[in-house]
Amino acid sequence: MDICVVGTGYVGLVSGVCFSDLGNRVTCVDVDESKIKKLLEGKSPIYEPGIEDFIQKNLNEGRLFFTTDLKKAMESAQIILIAVGTPRKQNGEADLTYIENVAESIGQNLQDYKIIVTKSTVPVGTGKIIKEIISRHAGDVKFDVASNPEFLREGSAIYDTLNMERAVIGVESEKAANLLKELHKPLTSNIVLTDIETAEMIKYASNAFLATKISFINEIANVCELLGADVTKVAEGMGYDKRIGNAFLQAGIGYGGSCFPKDTSALVAIAEQAGYDFRIVKDVEQVNKEQRFKVVDKLKVALKNDLKGKKISILGLAFKPNTDDMRDAPSVDVIPILQNEGAEVVAYDPVASENAQKVIPNLQVTDTMQEAILNSDAIVILTEWNEFKEMDLTEVARLVKQKIIIDGRNIFSIEKMEYMKFYYASIGRKTVS
């Protein structure tokens, strides 16, 4: 098939690259010239494990193209996938500016029948808006709109795309249904075929449910701390139950990233506009907002409320491991508080330091974990990178000034920390002191 992908971010680039690897001809378009320049050189503008090999292979084999020229990119395409951002507006709603701009441009350049598919996460009813915008410009040219929400996870995006658990296809015509089913055939046999509104809702319902699981286990963790129970064992005990499952039951400092925070608030706004007060998701958001500050409280207890002049080593800046994405990362809220209290904050992240410096003012970063923790008064773990899970605690003990670890991601066992004689405070478990 001939596919045009609009937007070369985490979703557009990965989808484009994977569809081309399956033998389709794919042209990816972006308005960001610097991204396209890099991509044409075979380099990825985002960090995503394995992606550069896929880009280079498919560029070399002549199936993958990059351009800033939408008109040219969509000329021969049967399918146009829209994968531009839908960030959160001040009032919590999803901002559809990028989507509407793309729809305008597609309408202006539409010469023959195409299926215009929204991969971006968009409020229920957006398919209709896209259709109206394109119709305004398209004259007599026939087209179909469709919704195909994306479920990939940053950090394992290629795997998730090639081993899709399900494809949700929201359509208005049989022609679009058949073509999109055909496109997804090599990726999954679980195809949920539905109308556009339902497909749009499936994405929000899925993300809000996952966010709910996280805030739920974090509240259990908070109660565990008060009662002397261990949340990791509680989660293990719950997770064997197939009705519950063990995914998304890791207590910690909550979720961040470009999806859950904006999608939960968009769902609340969508429900409100429909006249419904979505109470559970509002509480999920509130719990999550507060949870990230647990590490600050625990750090203050460990350092007896005196952070002034203390060297605090932050391990992990990205919102989760295996990505350089800093959107809504807990580090963005936590670090300025420590800086304001007079602490000397030094941070290390295997890949996100450069992006972090763009969003956290006066952030001092190091190239290695060892430099970050040298003479440290306390280590604060904000992201569960494998590199941190595997750290040599004997070496750590030698490098730091005080053997204090505040672990926002529960990456070490209590027994190990007792044995190594660290002060160790984590989430929903007893503090080792």
Residues of this chain that interact with ligand NAD (CB under 6 A) are 6-12, 29-32, 35, 83-86, 98, 101-102, 120-121, 150, 152, 154, 258-259
What three-state secondary structure class fits 49? coil
Q: CB neighbours (10 Å) of residue 353? A: 19
Residue nearest ligand NAD (C-beta atom): 9
Distance (Å) of CA 424 to CA 21, 58, 330, 377, 412: 46, 48, 20, 13, 9
- 250 annotated as ligand-binding: yes
- 62 annotated as ligand-binding: no
Please tell me the distance from the alpha carbon of residue 10 to that of residue 45, in angstroms, as a whole number: 9
Of the two residues 103 and 334, which places its CB atom closer to ligand NAD in the complex?
103
Please tell me the distance from the alpha carbon of residue 318 to that of residue 218, in angstroms, as a whole number: 20
Distance (Å) of CA 420 to CA 232, 431, 432: 20, 14, 10
Of the two residues 25 and 262, which places its CB atom closer to ligand NAD in the complex?
262
Residue 199 CB, nearest approach to ligand NAD (Å): 13
- 23 annotated as ligand-binding: no
Element (H, E) at 272: helix 260-273
Of the two residues 258 and 355, which places its CB atom closer to ligand NAD in the complex?
258
Of the two residues 11 and 295, which places its CB atom closer to ligand NAD in the complex?
11
User: Active-site residue 259, yes or no?
Assistant: yes
Residue 184 CB, nearest approach to ligand NAD (Å): 16
- 252 annotated as ligand-binding: yes
Cβ-based burial of 90 (10 A; exposed 0-12, middle 13-18, buried ≥19): exposed
Question: In the structure encoding, which two tokens stand for residue 84, read together?
Answer: 């531009």
Closest to 288 in 3D by CA, of 386, 207, 228: 207
Of the two residues 153 and 300, which places its CB atom closer to ligand NAD in the complex?
153
Catalytic residue among 4, 18, 224, 259: 259
Please tell me the distance from the alpha carbon of residue 99 to that of residue 93, in angstroms, as a whole number: 14
- 136 annotated as ligand-binding: no
Is residue 88 within 8 A of residue 116, CB to CB? The reply is no
- 289 annotated as ligand-binding: no
Residue 292 CB, nearest approach to ligand NAD (Å): 19
Residue 258 CB, nearest approach to ligand NAD (Å): 5
What lies within 8 Å, CB to CB, of 115 at 6+ separation is 78, 79, 80, 143, 144, 145, 146, 175, 176, 179, 180
- 160 annotated as ligand-binding: no
Residue 394 CB, nearest approach to ligand NAD (Å): 37
**Binding-site annotation, residues for NAD(+):** 30, 35, 86, 121, 154, 262, 327
Catalytic residues: 259
**Binding-site annotation, residues for substrate:** 151-154, 203, 248-252, 256, 320
**Binding-site annotation, residues:** 30, 35, 86, 121, 151-154, 203, 248-252, 256, 262, 320, 327
